[in-house]
């Protein structure tokens, strides 16, 4: 069998495959790109070793999108944790490109390991390293090879990728851009380049037909690039042989005109390309190219905002503090009122516009005073619908400047529903439809209510879409509702004359708080998914007090300022991966 390519000859794992028993029992096979090596729940009866190509590791709950965990590169094992533990595999491993793999049966592995204790030591060191990376939220086997393919009548791809590469270089990494000149290079040449640089970017013009096929099967993640001011090509975008598309690792970049105010027509591109993520960049806009560089290097910042009624005004103060510190916001998502504010960020509202629009929609007059006979809810919901139309109009989620999502609770299916496409105001109407307070929304035959019912702080949903730092703001923690909040008014007429009825009756507080109570498990999950978790002190703001704008905003601002002051480095660098130019970290003893 000989020494394995890309594996140090003194590696204990390399020696393992030189063992006479392994020589007779190890199985070599090819795994085409897109094929599955193993799935979660399957028995772990072999140790796999990657000789060439790349594998991707995934995990996820049934019925939800799989989360991409990282890349397994040549010279690395797969399935070792389950094998050692004698347990079924906990995740899925799929070939990202055509790969060559050795498989060693479990019993042969343990027999050979007994003769060479260094094998177990090396595997233990690897497992400890991966476990520590997971515990500290560092990415494991991050993607480093990206492909950019022009689709339809697009802008020249090479200059665009060169500009992204310059921004990556300014972040301190070694990066190179390779075009069609490498179309006929041998496989070893690609491997050598990928070992030499922190990031490799392959650029293919629409006319580079042969090179496009090479690129689509040579990278960890693929970006198709089209012109946002034109419809997708009539001939289509997708191809039959594209493993990254099947693994949800193909994204879309739409290049907009430099003076574009709001993208339009992106839904047609979403239908044609079916991307995992959509990004908009304007020609000659430096900030947009910096955002793409952060996304590629794992330094993009995701912001997640919880629900919480009027207390969600605190999110506005938190955003103000982030912007003052210069922290970029690259992905944004939320639930209920948090989703409303997150949508404003994705729309591109600056601080003054955010203040004006939120106060106009919610503060100046109550959105919940169109009281109705409670057949479905205590309000008609007309005022909420009108205000969403006023401030978000006919905007499609795909036409937002930033990737955005919000979450509603699907009562028909008994699961939360993530909104990433469609009419923005419809998605927002669903995510704020608090049961008993607002009439439910519908999606075909499905009944949708406030996302807070099932997932009030969707930081884990954000983690599926992006591997960079996540900042979460949760306004539902701490003391929230007391007996005074639900006390029956001594005089209904006095309560009406005082204007307190505009907040809604006390039952509104009860319903809103009941829907936004998070379990201890939810708090733990939120902490695990976020890198910075901020909990503003908003106990003094009643959950239905829509006029309590100033104190809630101030609380959010102060909480974020305090959280930022405790950080030892900028948020963008909380998950920074080491580059080849960085000093080597000290070796830590396993234990």
Q: Is the pLDDT of residue 169 over 70?
A: yes
The whole-number pLDDT of residue 589 equals: 35
Looking up tokens 């910042």 gives 301
By CB neighbour count within 10 A (0-12 exposed, 13-18 middle, 19+ buried), where does 479 fall?
exposed
Q: How far apart are CA 156 and CA 162, in angstroms?
A: 11
> Rounded to an integer, what distance in angstroms lies between the CA atom of residue 62 and that of residue 198?
34
Flag whether pLDDT at 495 surpasses 80: no
User: What SS3 class is residue 19?
Assistant: coil
336 is an active site residue: yes
Q: What gap in Å lies between CA 394 and CA 347, rounded to an integer?
A: 12
d(CA 361, CA 316): 14
pLDDT band at 4 (very low <50, low <70, confident <90, very high): very low
Do the beta carbons of residue 144 and residue 57 sit within 8 Å?
no
Separation of alpha carbons 54 and 249, rounded Å: 13
Summarised one tens digit per residue, pLDDT across range 496-517 is: 455 554 555 555 555 665 665 6
Distance CA 378, CA 532 (A): 37
Residue that has been written with the tokens 């009866």 in this structure: 45
* First-to-last C-alpha distance (Å) of the chain: 35
Q: Which residues pair with 36 in a beta bridge?
A: 94
pLDDT of residue 80: 84
Q: What is the pLDDT of residue 198?
A: 95
Q: Reading across the β-sheet that carries 145-150, which strands appear in turn?
A: 175-178, 199-204, 145-150, 221-227, 250-256, 278-282
Residue with tokens 């055509």: 98
Using only C-alpha atoms, what is the Rg of the chain?
Answer: 26
Query: CA-CA distance, 355 to 343, in Å (whole number)?
Result: 14
Q: What is the pLDDT of residues 415-463, one digit of tens each?
A: 899 999 999 999 999 999 887 777 888 888 999 998 888 888 999 899 8
Mean pLDDT in residue range 305-316:
93
pLDDT of residue 486: 53
| Residue of 336, 366, 433, 518 with catalytic role | 336
Q: Does the active-site annotation cover 208?
A: no
Which region among 43-52, 220-229, 347-356 has the lowest average model confidence (pLDDT)? 43-52
| Residue of 220, 251, 450, 474 marked active site | 450
Neighbours of 543 (CB within 10 A): 27
The b/e string for 362-379 (b: 16+ C-beta within 10 A; e otherwise) is bbeebbbeeeeeeeebbb
């Amino acid at each position: 069998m000989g020494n394995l390519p890309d594996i140090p000859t003194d590696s204990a794992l390399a020696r393992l495959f030189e063992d006479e028993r392994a020589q007779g029992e190890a199985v070599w096979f090819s795994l085409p790109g897109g094929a599955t090596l193993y799935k979660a729940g399957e028995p772990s009866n072999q140790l796999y070793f990657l000789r060439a190509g790349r594998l991707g590791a995934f995990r996820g709950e049934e019925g939800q999108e799989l989360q991409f965990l990282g890349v397994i590169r040549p010279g690395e094992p797969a399935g070792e944790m389950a094998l050692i533990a004698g347990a079924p595999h906990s995740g899925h491993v799929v070939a990202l490109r055509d790969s060559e793999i050795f498989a060693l049966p479990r019993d042969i592995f343990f027999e050979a390991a007994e003769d060479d204790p260094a094998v177990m030591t090396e595997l233990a060191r690897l497992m400890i390293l991966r476990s520590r990376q997971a515990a500290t939220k560092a990415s494991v086997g991050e993607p480093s090879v990206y492909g950019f393919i022009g689709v339809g009548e697009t802008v020249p791809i090479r200059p665009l990728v060169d500009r992204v590469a310059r921004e990556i270089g300014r972040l301190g990494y070694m990066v190179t851009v390779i075009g069609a000149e490498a179309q006929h290079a041998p496989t070893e040449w690609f491997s050598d380049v990928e070992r030499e640089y922190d990031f490799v970017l392959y650029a293919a013009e629409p006319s580079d037909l042969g090179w496009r096929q090479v690129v689509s099967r040579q990278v960890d993640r693929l970006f198709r690039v089209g012109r946002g001011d034109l419809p997708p090509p009539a001939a289509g975008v997708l191809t039959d042989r594209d493993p990254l598309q099947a693994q949800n690792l193909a994204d879309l970049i739409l290049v907009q005109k430099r003076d574009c105010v709001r993208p339009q027509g992106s839904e047609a591109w979403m239908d044609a390309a079916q991307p995992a993520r959509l990004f908009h960049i304007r020609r000659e806009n430096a900030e947009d190219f910096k955002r793409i560089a952060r996304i590629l290097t794992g330094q993009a910042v995701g912001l997640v905002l919880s629900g919480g009624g009027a207390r969600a005004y605190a999110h506005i103060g938190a955003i103000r503090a982030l912007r003052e510190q210069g922290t970029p916001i690259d992905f944004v998502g939320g639930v209920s009122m948090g989703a409303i504010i997150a949508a404003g960020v994705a729309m591109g509202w600056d601080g003054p516009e955010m203040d004006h629009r939120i106060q106009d929609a919610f503060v100046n007059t109550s959105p919940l005073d169109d009281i109705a006979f409670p057949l479905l809810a205590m309000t008609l919901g007309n005022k909420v619908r009108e205000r969403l139309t006023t401030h978000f109009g006919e905007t499609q989620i795909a036409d937002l400047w930033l990737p955005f999502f919000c979450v509603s609770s699907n009562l028909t299916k008994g699961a939360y529903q993530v909104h990433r496409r469609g009419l923005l105001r419809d998605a927002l109407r669903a995510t704020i439809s608090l049961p008993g307070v607002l009439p439910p929304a519908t999606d075909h035959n499905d009944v949708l209510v406030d996302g807070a019912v099932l997932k009030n702080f969707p930081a884990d949903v954000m983690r599926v879409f992006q591997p960079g730092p996540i900042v979460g703001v949760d306004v539902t923690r701490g003391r929230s509702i007391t007996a005074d909040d639900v006390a029956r008014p001594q005089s209904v007429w006095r309560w009406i004359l005082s204007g307190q009825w505009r907040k809604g009756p006390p039952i509104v507080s009860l319903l809103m708080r009941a829907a936004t109570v998070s379990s201890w498990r939810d708090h733990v999950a939120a902490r695990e998914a976020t890198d910075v978790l901020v909990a503003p002190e908003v106990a003094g703001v009643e959950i239905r007090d829509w006029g309590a704008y100033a104190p809630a905003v101030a609380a959010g601002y102060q909480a974020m300022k305090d959280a930022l002051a405790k950080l030892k480095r900028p948020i963008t660098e909380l998950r920074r991966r080491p580059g080849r130019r960085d000093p080597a970290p000290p070796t830590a003893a396993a234990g």
